[in-house]
Amino acid sequence: MRALIVALLCAGCRTHDAAEHEHTHDIKHSDDARGPHGGRLFGEASLLLEVGIVDIGESARLRVYPSSEGKAIPPGDVSVSIKLSRLGGRDDTFTCEPAEGYLVSPHDIAEPHSFDVSIEAQYRGATYRWSYSSYEGRTEIPEREAAASGISVEKAGPQIIKNSIRIRGRIVPSEHRIAHVIPRFAGVVREGRKHIGDSVTKGEVMAVVESNQSLQPFELRAQISGTVVQGHLIVGEYVAENQWVYVIADLSEVWADFYLPLTDRDSVHVGQIVEVMSPHSQHGVSGPVMYIAPYADERTQAQLVRVSLENSKGAFVPGMFVTGDLIVSETSVPTAVRTEALQGLHTWRVVFRRVGDIYEAQPVTVGRSNEEWSEVSAGLAPGDEYVTRNSFIVKADILKAGASHDH
């Protein structure tokens, strides 16, 4: 068992008899003063306290060993209350409980063991008070210096943690939005108004053809709005009956064809959301899985997964390679931090809290996470400010100052 000692002395005050006679004593304290249990000693001959934090497995309790005139006194004969004031104004006040040979805090002392401490003890009608500051994993970085170092800070808060599978594919036109313009009769072109790349609106005249049967002209009109992707007509050209002369594609909606490894096939279903990002821009869009092929590609051992994407801004064009995140699960959590903010310190996973110019390592319990966000189930509250970008700079500053876990 390793004892971690909290130094808890600044000044002492003793009250005799009825509280009308109060005497204040400046008590000289040496950091080297140690008791038989490894704790630091505070007080005077009439009441001497040995105080320390003892780690037992995963828990840590504060212990107080009282003595008077050089002799141990029964723990039940003295009352000791302690207030721990942490960074950010969070206080923990408790009364130590008598145990076999010492007094002990009624609950574990949470990490970090970094606080301003106030002690009040009552013994034989007298009151004693001490205060002390004991910090660990803490440093001070002025605002201007932090800004120059690229240190960024955000507030912890609720977030949706998404677990996904990364897949890759390419953009193809939506077959539901492709129209083939076909003459009703064979004939000769009298006007060809549209060419590849031209935009058309539904009902617009694209060409005029003279029928071979009636020798009367008839119009070829667009069935949908979109872009001409195939076909052109030249005046005098012969067009056959029932053969397309134009292909129109409405690219306001496109498909993304992905190939999912068969090892992940149980993770996908129709309607599932895929977040798609173009490698050529920062534009991304989400769309549902609309089709899963009932067969696999023999060569790649992958299954076709087709996603429908809204494309009114034209960010995706057919033939473009894209990356997608197939969302397997989504969980809403009350407190989360950016995953990049997490660092290792001692045996802890920590984030670095900020209050003003003060930064302190805060151990956290991490739950569900992905590349962007990590759930914090213990150690941090919504609204706490923590370092996101360049947290390693804060860690280095703390280590340089000596961040030993020894109280």
Four-residue CA torsion sign, 292, 293, 296, 297: negative
Please name each of the domains of the chain with its CATH number. Answer: 3-135 (2.60.40), 138-172+252-407 (2.40.30.170), 175-249 (2.40.50.100)
Residue 33's pLDDT is: 73
Residue 24's pLDDT is: 36
Helix (H), strand (E) at residue 335: strand 321-338
Per-residue pLDDT tens digits for 360-382: 999 999 999 998 999 999 999 99
Residue 326, helix vs strand vs coil: strand
Residue 405's pLDDT is: 53
Helix (H), strand (E) at residue 148: helix 143-148
Question: What distance in Å separates the CA atoms of residue 327 and residue 160, rounded to the nearest whole number?
Answer: 12
Q: Which stretches of the chain drop beneath a pLDDT of 70? A: 1-32, 281-283, 402-407
Question: What distance in Å separates the CA atoms of residue 3 and residue 217, rounded to the nearest whole number?
Answer: 101
Per-residue pLDDT tens digits for 8-55: 333 333 333 333 333 333 333 445 578 888 887 888 889 999 998 988
Displacement of CA 321 from its chain's centroid (Å): 28
Token pair belonging to 67? 């003595």
The angle at the Cα of 16, spanning 11 to 21, to the nearest 5 degrees, equals 90
Total number of residues shown for the chain: 407
* CB of 50 closer than 8 Å to CB of 64: yes
Helix (H), strand (E) at residue 47: strand 47-56
Residue 55's pLDDT is: 84
